[in-house]
């Protein structure tokens, strides 16, 4: 009797591993017998196809030898079974009431969209890092009036802090203000800030070559005026 090829031998070994011994002998024997019959009747190719399909079916369906069937006393099985039941129940309910399903899915869509928009805003305004190199090391410090708001820091005190502070790498001051400027035509009021000379070095950004000249300051003021008009 002709011996089986290596691929068929491998398939038979898979089945022997898959089935308990008391069934493996009869299943493998039947498959080998039927394979030989089909090979001689209709050719080797068809027989190989048939046998591969049979092996796949057996591997997919029959529980592995010694494998324990799932039971309720195992936490994972209970959880997964419960989850599967819940999902199937939900799908059945939704199919049964299409109107309710549309409303429920619509409500969920609105909720998800609102959450996304709010997160985008919070991320942009609060969470996103400052657009400066090493922005995580920038802090704002101020003095506060007892039972009141922040107090303006005199320039002499800022200089003293700059000279004696050991907690900060460097310090710069700024003060928001409104300026009235006129570039040839009518005077205009623009919002801006007066800053100390170290300000851009502390931020780590240099909008123009350093130190700034009067032309640079004029350019900055013009830019501020244009921005002011654009926002209005």
Partner 1 sequence: MWCNKSSILLGEFEQLTLLAVLRLDDHGYGASIQREMDSRAGRSISINAVYTTLERLEKKGLVRSWVGEPSEQRGGRRRKHYALEPLGAAALRQAYGAFKRMTDGLERYLERA
The two three-digit tokens of residue 23, written as one number: 């069934």
150-151 and 188-195 as β-strands: parallel, antiparallel, unpaired? unpaired
Cβ 52 to partner 1 shortest distance, Å:
12
Cβ 81 to partner 1 shortest distance, Å:
23
Cβ 29 to partner 1 shortest distance, Å:
3
Q: Please, which residue, 52 or 78, has the CB nearer to partner 1?
A: 52
Q: Please, which residue, 54 or 101, has the CB nearer to partner 1?
A: 54
Q: Please, which residue, 54 or 228, has the CB nearer to partner 1?
A: 54
Total of residues contacting partner 1 (CB under 8 A): 20
Asked if 14 touches partner 1 (CB under 8 A), the answer is no
Provide the angle, in degrees to the nearest 10, between the axes of the packed helices 98-122 and 75-96: 110
Q: Please, which residue, 32 or 198, has the CB nearer to partner 1?
A: 32
- Number of other CB atoms surrounding residue 35 within 10 Å: 20
22 to 81, contacts with partner 1 by CB under 8 A? 23, 25-34, 36, 54, 57-58, 61-62
Cβ 119 to partner 1 shortest distance, Å:
52
Cβ 70 to partner 1 shortest distance, Å:
18
Q: Please, which residue, 19 or 225, has the CB nearer to partner 1?
A: 19
Q: Please, which residue, 38 or 216, has the CB nearer to partner 1?
A: 38
Cβ 90 to partner 1 shortest distance, Å:
31
Residues at the contact surface with partner 1, assessed by CB under 8 A: 1, 4, 19, 23, 25-34, 36, 54, 57-58, 61-62
């Amino acid at each position: 009797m002709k011996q089986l090829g290596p691929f068929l031998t491998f398939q038979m070994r898979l089945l022997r591993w898959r089935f308990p011994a008391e069934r493996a002998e009869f299943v493998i024997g039947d498959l080998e017998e039927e394979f030989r019959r089909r090979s001689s009747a209709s050719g080797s190719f068809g027989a190989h196809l048939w046998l591969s399909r049979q092996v796949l079916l057996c591997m997919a369906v029959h529980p592995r030898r010694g494998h324990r069937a799932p039971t309720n006393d195992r936490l994972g099985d209970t959880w997964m079974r419960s989850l599967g039941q819940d999902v199937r129940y939900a799908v059945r309910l939704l199919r049964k009431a299409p109107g309710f399903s549309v409303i429920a899915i619509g409500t969920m869509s609105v909720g998800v969209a609102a959450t996304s928009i709010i997160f985008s805003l919070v991320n942009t305004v609060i969470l996103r890092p400052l657009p400066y190199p090493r922005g995580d090391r920038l802090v704002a410090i101020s003095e506060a009036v007892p039972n009141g708001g922040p107090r303006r820091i005199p320039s002499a005190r800022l200089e003293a802090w700059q000279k004696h502070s050991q907690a900060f790498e460097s310090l710069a001051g700024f003060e928001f203000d409104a300026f009235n400027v006129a570039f040839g035509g009518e005077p205009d009021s623009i919002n801006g800030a007066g800053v100390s000379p170290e300000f851009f070095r502390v931020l780590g950004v240099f909008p123009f070559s350093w130190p700034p000249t009067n032309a640079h300051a004029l350019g900055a003021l013009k830019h501020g005026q244009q921005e002011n008009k654009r926002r209005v």
